């Protein structure tokens, strides 16, 4: 039987790193096994559903390259299906109508918590006689449908990541609602109906769903079908080991994209959270597919580390071919896009090794090539010491037409001035770039252009006289 997996987010906000790691592992598993990756939107909570979030999910997945084979299915379009199964359960005596009001339930719940009892539904509506049920219905009192849990329910799950897990259902839950009074299904019910109907073979989801599993197994059993295999991925936690919070910085995929992270970088980093490849950590999506294995996923939670994300992103920036890098950088370049393409390309390539994100690219171009250099007072002494080197180089530069052989000019200037090595190059670097570090000078000078080099050198000479 071929593998079928699904990613089933709810459109209540933007996709964040935790969600996406789940999507990624599902996708990798599907691709690795030549299976099918299904996208399903769990939008049965009208209050929390936003169309923008729905669109965002599609955008984010597309951007990351996590293409889906089926869907997006939307649960809100399948309401009749859930309802029909709920009614079937009702008819089979597996569920019953519950006329308790939300307020009433909330009161009981609070009371139970206060008295130190587990907050569970008492099951009182299960004992309503048929006459009472029709009387309440006739009065127009709305009802929900509750699943009646069998008294002896006990499950053993063989989780792909965690191994054997046992659940004593009666120690966990009371009768739970499967269809709300407004006709909407609840999560635990709708997931199972859908996973069953969509023939899902492997449910790969976050560990936060682990304790939902027994409730869902109950539904499978009521349906009379075999449940799929389960794999519960470890949570991604913050640097303080607690739940990932907004304070942690860039957590939504949209934000990461806007900050200039590459889809390659994000995907690569996320793949390393809970899983690790044998050798080199820098991988393309194709390589990840090749090497990924669900069995190798670690069960313990992993902390989100922005520093490593940045490092990995930089590795991908370094590996991109030049045209593609330019393409990626474009949205971040702003007015820089008006510069001639070949100049832009050279400028980008000259500073790419410093860039951790795409948004660093315009910053460095601005810093080195465009803004007026502002020589720091602390450079003064070194510039004075290097005056001869600067002057000699400047004079030769004036007579040079072809900047592609600038290294010959350097050699010539070294010969004439008698200054060499660091004491020769460094003052010139300060004068021309304005900083102590930056791109190779032989690369830098042709990009900056002869006139501006001369201008900057002259300016430095003036500065050291001041």
Neighbouring C-beta atoms of residue 254, cutoff 10 Å = 16
Instruction: Pick the catalytic residue from 246, 308, 324, 415.
Output: 246
Residue 283 β-bridge partners? none
378: tokens are 């602390």
Q: Which is nearer to RNA, 2 or 353 (CB)?
A: 353
426: tokens are 């460094």
Query: At its nearest, how many Å lie between RNA and the CB of residue 224?
Result: 24
Phi/psi of residue 39, each to 5°?
-105, 125
Pick out residues in 363-422 that bind RNA (CB under 7 A): 364, 421-422
Pick out residues in 10-29 that bind RNA (CB under 7 A): 10
Who contacts 374 (Cβ-Cβ below 8 Å, separation ≥6)? 434
**CA–CA gap between residue 82 and residue 76 (Å, rounded):** 10
Binding of RNA at residue 425 (CB under 7 A)?
A: yes
Query: At its nearest, how many Å lie between RNA and the CB of residue 122?
Result: 11
Query: At its nearest, how many Å lie between RNA and the CB of residue 286?
Result: 20
Binding of RNA at residue 441 (CB under 7 A)?
A: yes
Pick out residues in 254-273 that bind RNA (CB under 7 A): 272-273
Binding of RNA at residue 148 (CB under 7 A)?
A: no
Binding of RNA at residue 162 (CB under 7 A)?
A: yes
Query: At its nearest, how many Å lie between RNA and the CB of residue 269?
Result: 9
Which among 377, 373, 379, 397 has a CA at the least distance from the CA of 445? 397
The stretch among 23-31, 172-180, 248-256, 335-343 that binds RNA (CB under 7 A) is 172-180
Tell which phi-psi region holds residue 246, choosing left (phi > 0), alpha (psi between -120 and 50) or beta.
alpha
110: tokens are 């609070």
Binding of RNA at residue 438 (CB under 7 A)?
A: yes
If binding means CB under 7 A, how many residues of this protein chain bind RNA?
Answer: 88
Who contacts 380 (Cβ-Cβ below 8 Å, separation ≥6)? 463, 464
Based on C-alpha coordinates, what's the Rg of the chain? 32
Binding of RNA at residue 453 (CB under 7 A)?
A: no
Pick out residues in 338-357 that bind RNA (CB under 7 A): 353-354
Binding of RNA at residue 60 (CB under 7 A)?
A: no
Q: Which is nearer to RNA, 263 or 274 (CB)?
A: 274
The binder of RNA chosen from 323, 402, 440, 458 (CB under 7 A): 440
DSSP assignments along 70-107, one per residue:
EEEEEGGG-HHHHHHHHHHHHHTTSEEEE---HHHHHH
Q: Which is nearer to RNA, 249 or 301 (CB)?
A: 301
Long-range contacts of the stretch 447-452 (C-beta < 8 A, 24+): 447/343, 447/346, 447/347, 447/350, 447/369, 448/368, 448/369, 449/403, 450/397, 450/400, 450/403
What's the farthest any 2 CA atoms get from each other in the chain?
111
Binding of RNA at residue 186 (CB under 7 A)?
A: yes
Q: What dihedral angle (degrees, nearest 10) is formed by the CA atoms of 437, 441, 443, 446?
A: 120
Query: At its nearest, how many Å lie between RNA and the CB of residue 134?
Result: 18
Pick out residues in 294-333 that bind RNA (CB under 7 A): 296, 298-303, 305, 307-308, 311
Q: Which is nearer to RNA, 137 or 224 (CB)?
A: 137
Query: At its nearest, how many Å lie between RNA and the CB of residue 182?
Result: 6
**CA–CA gap between residue 178 and residue 425 (Å, rounded):** 75
Binding of RNA at residue 172 (CB under 7 A)?
A: yes
Binding of RNA at residue 429 (CB under 7 A)?
A: yes
Site mask, RNA, residues 77-96, x = CB under 7 A?
Answer: --------------------
Binding of RNA at residue 121 (CB under 7 A)?
A: yes
Pick out residues in 227-256 that bind RNA (CB under 7 A): 232, 234-235, 237, 239, 241-243
Query: At its nearest, how many Å lie between RNA and the CB of residue 222?
Result: 18
Burial 189-198, CB ≥16 within 10 A → b, else e: bbbbbbbbeb
Query: At its nearest, how many Å lie between RNA and the CB of residue 347?
Result: 14
Is 246 annotated as catalytic? yes
**Catalytic residue positions?**
246
């Amino acid at each position: 039987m071929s593998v079928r997996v699904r990613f089933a987010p709810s459109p209540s906000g933007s996709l964040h790193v935790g969600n996406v790691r789940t999507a990624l592992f599902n996708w990798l598993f599907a691709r690795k096994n030549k299976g099918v990756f299904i996208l399903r939107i769990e939008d049965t909570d009208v209050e929390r559903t936003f169309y923008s979030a729905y669109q965002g999910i599609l955008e984010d997945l597309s951007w990351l390259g996590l293409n889906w084979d089926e869907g997006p299915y939307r649960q809100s379009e399948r309401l009749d299906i859930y309802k029909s199964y709920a009614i079937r359960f009702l008819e089979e005596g597996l569920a019953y109508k519950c006329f308790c009001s939300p307020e009433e339930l909330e009161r009981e719940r609070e009371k139970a918590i206060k008295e130190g009892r587990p907050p569970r539904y008492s099951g009182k509506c299960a004992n309503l006689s048929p006459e009472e049920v029709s009387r309440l219905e006739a009065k127009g009192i709305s009802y929900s449908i509750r699943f009646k849990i069998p008294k002896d329910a006990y499950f053993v799950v063989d989780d792909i990541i965690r191994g054997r897990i046992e659940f004593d259902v009666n120690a966990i839950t009371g009768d739970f609602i499967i269809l709300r009074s407004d006709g909407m299904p609840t999560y635990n019910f709708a997931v199972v109906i859908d996973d069953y109907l969509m023939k899902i073979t492997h449910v790969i989801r976050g560990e936060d769903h682990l304790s939902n599993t027994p409730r869902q197994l109950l539904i499978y059993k009521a349906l009379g079908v075999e449940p799929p295999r389960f794999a519960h991925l470890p949570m991604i936690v913050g640097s303080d080991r607690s739940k990932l919070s907004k304070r942690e910085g860039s957590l939504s995929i949209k934000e990461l994209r806007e900050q200039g992270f590459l889809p390659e970088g994000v995907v690569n980093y996320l793949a390393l959270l809970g899983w690790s490849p044998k050798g080199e950590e820098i991988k393309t999506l194709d390589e990840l597919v090749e090497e990924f294995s669900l069995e190798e996923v670690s069960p313990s939670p992993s902390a989100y580390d922005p520093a490593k994300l940045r490092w990995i992103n930089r590795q991908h920036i370094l590996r991109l071919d030049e045209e593609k890098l330019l393409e990626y950088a474009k949205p971040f370049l702003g007015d820089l896009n008006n510069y001639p393409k070949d100049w832009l390309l050279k400028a980008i390539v000259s500073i790419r090794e410093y860039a951790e994100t795409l948004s660093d690219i315009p910053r460095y171009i601005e810093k080195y090539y465009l803004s007026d250099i502002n020589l720091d007072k602390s450079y003064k002494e070194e510039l004075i010491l290097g005056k001869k080197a600067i002057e000699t180089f400047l004079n030769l530069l004036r007579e040079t037409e072809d900047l592609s052989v600038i290294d010959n000019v350097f050699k010539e200037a070294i010969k004439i001035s008698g200054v060499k090595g660091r004491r020769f190059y460094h003052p010139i670097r300060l004068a021309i770039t304005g900083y102590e570090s930056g791109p190779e000078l032989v690369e830098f000078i042709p990009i900056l252009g002869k006139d501006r080099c001369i201008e900057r050198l002259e300016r430095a000479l003036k500065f050291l006289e001041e």
